[in-house]
Chain A
Amino acid sequence: GAGVSQTPSNKVTEKGKYVELRCDPISGHTALYWYRQSLGQGPEFLIYFQGTGAADDSGLPNDRFFAVRPEGSVSTLKIQRTERGDSAVYLCASSFSALDTQYFGPGTRLTVL
């Protein structure tokens, strides 16, 4: 079956702009996670959804970052007033239930100029 997909694969934007990153999880997976991976580092947790609700958003760095999952499937990570320090690969993962095996998508590489 299809794995986790993320779009776009690459996004280049200018400082101060707004961006949206999309994640399509594996069908039937109720848990969805967003991570951020900087060059040479491991993935860093941002937010976790169980169904439609954000069960844990403690990893979001500040209020410029926001994520939604309105129907319990597709999720969108939204970044306002982007800064150069936001440049990273944003990874999405889904699992059948909380703390079950997490399956990662290929990521979206965000570059803020």
Chain B
Amino acid sequence: QQQVKQSPQSLIVQKGGISIINCAYENTAFDYFPWYQQFPGKGPALLIAIRPDVSEKKEGRFTISFNKSAKQFSLHIMDSQPGDSATYFCAAGSKNTGNQFYFGTGTSLTVIP
């Protein structure tokens, strides 16, 4: 059973556009929601993370929006650049669910120059 559902599977955006990736979860015990960026041949790297006590967190061009009642969260990449082309994973975790992260299936983002 997929604990975290992620969409879309792939995304193509023009340079300068906004990339939006969505995730949904079921387990209300989750209280930490990171986003990871992964380039081919590399391990995932933390991009930005949020806890459910806030509805939005922004770091540079990257913003997480969090909707606790809907159990959904999303990543927005503003002014998308070709260098942002990578696979993005959302994840969720909690000390009450075993200290592991449950990852989404990933979104392959391509930013066209």
CB of B101 closer than 8 Å to a CB of A: yes
A56 partner, pick from B32, B34, B41, B98, beta carbons under 8 A: B98
Q: Which of A14-22, A39-47, A68-76 contacts B (4 or more CB under 8 A)?
A: A39-47
Report A16 CB to chain B, min CB distance, Å.
Answer: 28
Known: A98-B95, A99-B94. A45 touches B102 (CB 8 A): yes
Q: What is the interface size of chain A, counting residues whose CB is below 8 A from a CB of the partner?
A: 27
A28 in the interface (beta carbon within 8 A) = no
Q: Mark B22-44, 1 if CB is under 8 A from A, else 0.
A: 00000000001010100001111
Verify if A7 is at the interface (C-beta below 8 Å from B).
Answer: no
A58 to B99, CA, bound (A): 11
| Interface bits A92-113 vs B (CB < 8 Å: 1, else 0) | 0100001101111111000000
B89 at the interface (CB under 8 A from A): yes
CB atoms of A105 and B101 under 8 A apart: no
Residues of B71-113 whose CB lies within 8 A of A: 89, 91, 93-95, 98-106
Expressed in whole angstroms, the minimum distance between the Cβ of B3 and any Cβ of chain A is 10
The answer to whether B104 touches A99, judged by C-beta atoms less than 8 angstroms apart, is no
Nearest Cβ in chain B — how far from A97, in angstroms?
10
Contact at A101–B34, with CB atoms within 8 Å? yes
Binding site for B on A (CB under 8 A): 4, 31, 33, 35, 40-45, 48, 50, 55-56, 58-59, 91, 93, 98-99, 101-107
